[in-house]
Amino acid sequence: MRRLPLVFLIAVLGSSSAWAFFDDKEARRQIADLQINAEARFDQQARAQLELSAQIQRQAEEIARLRGQIETLTHELEQSRKRQQDFYLDLDSRLRKLEPQQVADSAPATDPAAGPKAAIAGDPAKEAQAYDAALELFKAGKYKESAAAFAGFVDQYPAGSLAPNAQYWLGNAWYAQRNCTKAIEAQSQIGTRYPDSDKAPDALLSIATCQQELGNRKGATRTLETLLEKHPASPAAEKARERLKKK
């Protein structure tokens, strides 16, 4: 009877040791599994980070490429505008050489009682001189001074043969200063005050350009359509058709 408790105790201790040994082995296995899983997650995160880094690098390269294209297109656009501006300046200068005699022939007689301003307005030589001075300022890139000179010219010679041209270059002078609002204002006066002028279609084209740059695409489209409706045979109308095709 006394041996039973001892045997039972040995059996219990033996099973406890086996259980303890089993728990230690299982814990090591679980630790190993956790380590493997942790390393796997680390590798996965590392690969994802590398992939993200590569993607960011590709996007940076694409942005740099697009920025380069934008700079190139901007430069080409500026050059195109410069060539167009030079063309109009040259054309204006060539036409000006033919105009003084015509102006002199068609100039109305002045009324001495009307005052000094009327006398100046009736002098084609002084009118041409004032116009040329404003145009030279524009050619020299002095756009602010040119705008003031052309505005003064139109104010002084509103009915002169060069008034529509001066109004047109006034709009260009404002545009050269990146003031599209003032440019539209000036060019709109041509359609109101000088609708039959040769500059009327060019003024509408300039207005459409400014509207486009201001983000008013619908307004630009309407202006181009008006240009085609009123001046379908003008050189500006051909440019308007090309622009409408691209919209």
Taking only the tens of pLDDT, the chain with its 247 residues reads 455 555 554 555 555 554 455 567 777 777 877 878 777 777 777 778 777 777 787 777 677 667 665 655 554 555 555 555 655 565 565 555 555 444 433 334 344 344 444 444 458 889 999 999 999 999 999 999 999 999 999 999 999 999 999 999 999 999 999 999 999 999 999 999 999 999 999 999 999 999 999 999 999 999 999 999 999 999 999 999 999 998 6
Q: Are 173 and 94 found together in one domain?
A: yes
In terms of phi and psi (left: phi > 0; alpha: psi -120 to 50; beta: otherwise), the region of 101 is alpha
Are 92 and 128 contacting, i.e. CB atoms less than 8 angstroms apart? no
The stretches of 107-199 forming alpha helices (DSSP H) are 116-121, 124-139, 143-156, 163-176, 180-193
Tell me, what's the pLDDT at 116? 41
Are residues 89 and 210 both part of a single domain?
A: yes
Query: What's the confidence (pLDDT) of residue 23?
Result: 65
Pair (35, 104) in one structural domain: no
Residue 161: which domain range? 84-246
| Distance separating alpha carbons of residues 194 and 215, to the nearest angstrom | 27
Residue 56 lies in a domain: yes
163 belongs to a structural domain: yes
Which CATH number characterizes residue 173's domain?
Answer: 1.25.40.10
Q: Crossing angle of helices 163-176/124-139, nearest 10°?
A: 20
Determine the Cα–Cα distance for residues 194 and 170; give it in Å rounded to an integer: 14
Same domain, 154 and 41: no
The answer to whether residues 203 and 214 belong to one domain is yes
Q: Last residue of some domain: 52, 83, 114?
A: 83
- Evaluate whether residue 10 is within a structural domain: no
What pLDDT does residue 140 have? Answer: 92
User: Does any domain span residue 8?
Assistant: no
> What is the per-residue pLDDT across 79-130, written as a single tens digit (0 to 9) for each?
555 555 655 565 565 555 555 444 433 334 344 344 444 444 458 889 999 9
Q: Which residue has the tokens 């033919």?
A: 98
Residue 154: per-residue pLDDT: 96
Number of domains in the chain: 2
End-to-end, the C-alpha distance of the chain in Å comes to: 109
d(CA 91, CA 86): 8
CA 192 to chain centre: 28
Task: Report pLDDT for 92.
Answer: 66
